[in-house]
Chains A and B, each alone.
Chain A
Amino acid sequence: MKSGTWLLRLLRLIVSFREFSLIAVLVLFGGFMTIQSDVFLTKANLEAILLGLSVEGIIAVGMVILLISGGLDLSVGSTLALTGVVTGLALMKLGLSPLPAITLGLLAALAVGLINGLLVSKLKINPFITTLGMMITVRGLLLVLAEGRAVLNLPETFTVVGQGRLFGIQYPIYVMLLLVIVGDLLMRYSRFFRQSYYIGGNEKAARLSGINVDGVKIFNYCLVAILAGIAGIMITARFGSASVTVGSGVELRVITATIIGGASLSGGEGSVFGAFLGALFMAVLANALNLLGVDVYWQNFVTGLILIIAVVVDVVNERRKASQKM
């Protein structure tokens, strides 16, 4: 009897946790693909998936934390490109060595995050509007800086950051996995990071509970910007050039991934691991459609559908819970 209820509770836990259902779907889907295609389960293909995922994966860590605290950042794609361009120009025009160049690039990203955070928390401007404005402004700024052209032929001392390998696997994958693990642990166990759940859950109550709401918000905007910057460094190093168009549209893909992973646009919900699984799911799906020879245009169609299904499942779940009040 006792073990029976225990099992029931475990089952309920599995259904209620987005992470478990996503893993289940991923495993099933992976199994199906392994049967369908002999390329899918090869090291080269899996590495390609993870490498392609690394940009979204890194930014998703910051984005989900921001969404949990009730924020939103549409400017991450532009920030990513800005970091690449600033770093590239520092290397080529200023002749800096990689470390100071990267630092300069990340400082540019931090500046974007700081402006976003200050506008949203201190001036109480809507996050959507603020970051939409910054998305356009920053893209414009970097086009001016780079005079509309990509910064080409970056030195090998820099490109190794994105192309180097450890145990045969490229660095960006490690960076992503490390950030996901650290981010997830912090959001689960750290007092400072858990404050975001309170702020997203009820900002006014959080303020009255003595949480430094503005401080945490500004921190979160800076965090997502820095992570976008890191992603920018990785992708610039991988390609060996700083593109001015890179990263456009990445903000919506990242937000999609976090929501598939259980976050809510109204804040208070989500997890870093869930967001990562959401991004992984989208990457695997794109890869699978590719391998199956499905027209590339179907990818958007399917991803959109999945997003809507994920949200519908959420809403239905929430209603079911609400109707069984205690």
Chain B
Amino acid sequence: MTIVLKAENITKRFPGVLAVDNVSMELRKGEVLALVGENGAGKSTLMQILGGALKPDSGRLVIDGKEVIFNSPQDAIRAGVSMVFQELSLVKSLSVAENLFANRQPIGRFNNIKWRELYQETECFLRRFNLNIDPRCLVKHLPMGQQQILEILKAISANPKILLLDEPTSSLTESEILYLFENIRRLQESGMSIIYITHKLSEIFQIANRVMVMRDGRYIGDRSIKEVTENDLVCMMVGRQIVNLYGSTTCQFDGDEYFKVENLTRRGMFYNITFGLKPGEILGIAGLVGAKRTEVAQAIIGVLPKDTGRIILRGKNLRINRPQDAIRERIAYLTEDRKELGLFLGMSVRENLVAPSLRKYVSFLDILDRSRIDDFSRQVVQRLAISTPSLAKKMMYLSGGNQQKCLVGMWMGIEPEVIIFDEPTRGVDVGARAEIYQKLREFADAGVGIILISSDLTELIGMCDRILVMHAGRIQGEVNRKDFSEELILAYAAGLAGN
């Protein structure tokens, strides 16, 4: 097979860290190469070098046998390399058409945009990918998953030979992922080569031909997908053996349901949500995007108002109208969107860790007790093995896994009785994931009931004692551990079976 892209001895150094260390690689025509590694392994940096967003300190890039030098992503696009960025690059207040054809709109005689033509072209383009979106719709009105797909289509619309995808499925639902994979296969058949970064190892086996592993900026190895197992990959990525990612379920909880949600309804969103939680139980909530799982959680903790329904903790009917009330009752909610809703990125690790429990650290006259804050923060950093040079480090400089651990640490501070965990491992690498799962188990073992909202079915099946499946704002089914199967859960989630 012909080699379309060759990188030779690429090295990139940032102050204080060697991000990419003498890495060489090849990409063949029409193949999907998965690039895996923990956070900080250097995959994204390598990708940005290939996509022209960063310049390597040394090394060569060869495309179709010719050496190229990229000074900007535009250079890369001209050479046939399009990159889809992790963070969305869409202008949310503009229409789908304007985003797809940014800078390439059909222009009339007076330099005027020919709107009719623009919309028609967009419609044709979207139809080619079986996507039913109105070209006039503003991007901000689209669900996150469709925005992500649009981002990918935007890169494809430049007609590249090589497509670089950096965690494209991180905010996609199961059905959107299937849709994406279908289109990746089509593009591959038409001769496009694709490099695909992901944290979800199961995806690799569905879509990739070859997988390359990086660790600490170095090339560790590459394997044909046919001759490698998920476990092999994890070993290559972490450089050690992880025996059981999810830990072992004890499945023993004595006691009654101490936390109950009864007939929780918010009209137009969700209806009659009823469930109970036993001490030490891990209760999963599965569902597709649009099932309103996060909304239920937010109504429980008082971010969203509820029309009817009761929340009962240890026989007491709770009145929760604001997040403060939930915190007072020791119900912790760890948001799915840690950067937007969870953490204070511009503030120090210490200030983040005490945010929900500030009141606990007040001495007389509302004055904060710095030494107690330090004690608590140090303890959390140690217990969760958060890697940070100091408590004063700004949150934004920590890796995704460490940020997620900080989010867990923050909520340890309120000594929760119930923890609602919303997508705890999105964008988190395998090593940190194992640690977060372990922490979850520790909470459960200590008798805390845990509600785990996740779109990752393997995660739910690995972690939970019981899974509720939501569909379109209602609980469609309930599955106990002994009956767990992906098929059954997906059937409920799609609204195909059950109540």
Contacts and interface: CB of A to CB of B under 8 A. Distances in A.
Interface stretch (A114-122, A202-210, A217-225): A202-210
Interface string B306-328: 00000000000000001110111
Contacts of A322: 396-397
Given A191-B358, A210-B356, A326 B397 contact: yes
Given A207-B323, A208-B323, A210-B327, A201 B17 contact: no
Task: Bin the interface of chain B by size.
Answer: 35 or more
B359 interface: yes
Contacts of A321: 394, 397
A324 B15 contact: yes
Given A191-B362, A191-B366, A269 B356 contact: no
Contacts of A209: 323, 327, 355-356, 410
Given A189-B367, A190-B368, A208-B335, A326 B389 contact: yes
B427 interface: no
Given A198-B347, A209-B355, A210-B327, A325 B367 contact: no
A195 interface: yes
Interface stretch (B95-103, B140-148, B210-218, B337-345): B337-345
B368 A194 contact: yes
Contacts of A202: 340-341, 343-346
B323 A210 contact: yes
Contacts of A190: 365-368
Contacts of B361: 191
B343 A268 contact: no
Given A190-B368, A208-B335, A201 B358 contact: no
Tell which of A195, A202, A321 has the most Cβ of chain B within 10 Å. Answer: A202
Interface residues of A, number: 27
Contacts of A326: 16-17, 387-389, 393, 397-398
Contacts of B388: 326
Contacts of A206: 344, 355
A317 interface: no
- B interface, over-half SS: mixed
A57 B346 CA distance: 27
Nearest to B344: A201
Nearest to B413: A209
B48 to A, nearest CB: 13
A207 B345 CA distance: 15
Nearest to B335: A208
A17 to B, nearest CB: 12
A290 interface: no
Contact of A205 (B355, B359, B368): B355
A29 interface: no
Interface in B283-331: 301, 303, 322-324, 326-328
Contact of B347 (A191, A268, A323, A325): A268
B14 interface: yes
B217 to A, nearest CB: 13
Contacts of B389: 326
B421 interface: no
Contacts of B398: 326
Nearest to B325: A210
B212 to A, nearest CB: 23
Contact of A201 (B303, B347, B362, B368): B347
A207 B327 CA distance: 11
A197 interface: yes
Contact of A325 (B343, B355, B397): B397
B358 A208 contact: no
A322 to B, nearest CB: 8
B38 interface: no
A268 B351 CA distance: 12
A195 B362 CA distance: 13
A208 B324 contact: no
A65 B344 CA distance: 18
A189 to B, nearest CB: 5
Interface string B266-285: 00000000000000000000
Contacts of A194: 358, 368
Contact of B333 (A197, A204, A208, A212): A208
Interface in A283-326: 321-326
A32 interface: no
A206 B301 CA distance: 14
Contacts of B358: 191, 194-195, 211
Closest 9 CB pairs of A and B: A324-B15, A201-B344, A210-B327, A209-B355, A210-B324, A209-B356, A204-B341, A202-B344, A189-B367
13 contacts: A190-B365, A190-B367, A195-B358, A201-B344, A202-B340, A205-B342, A205-B344, A209-B356, A323-B14, A324-B15, A326-B388, A326-B393, A326-B398
Given A189-B367, A201-B345, A208-B303, 11 more contacts: A194-B358, A197-B344, A197-B347, A197-B351, A202-B340, A205-B340, A209-B410, A210-B328, A321-B397, A323-B15, A326-B389
